[in-house]
Amino acid sequence: DLQCADALGEFAPTLRYDAIAVTGALARMPEHFRHWLAPGGRLFAVCGDGPAMAALRITRLGEEEFLEESLFETVLDYLDGAQPTARFDL
């Protein structure tokens, strides 16, 4: 089952997925993204602050066990609503 959705919106899947690809950067990985994975499933996302964001692969090993691997550094545009919080600069 292939689905395209706004994962930061009101997307509330009833299925668990073998593969999830997040197609824009996230300042921080929402915890619930991990729980959309089936056991053995993999999630790819780019997280962090530019100009050096981490391309991550997260694999669900068990019900509450995940392996997170940083694959390489890159930079992408943020998803709408996933930008970092503005910082106060003097």
**pLDDT at residue 51, as a whole number:** 86
SS3 of residue 11 by DSSP: coil
**pLDDT at residue 81, as a whole number:** 76
- Helices within the chain (DSSP H only): 31-34
SS3 of residue 33 by DSSP: helix
Is residue 42 within 8 A of residue 58, CB to CB? The reply is yes
**pLDDT at residue 80, as a whole number:** 79
pTM: predicted TM-score of the whole model, two decimal places: 0.83
| Tens digits of pLDDT across the chain (90 residues) | 677 877 777 777 888 999 999 999 999 999 889 999 999 999 999 999 888 999 999 999 999 999 999 999 999 998 877 777 766 666
CB atoms within 10 A of CB 43: 21
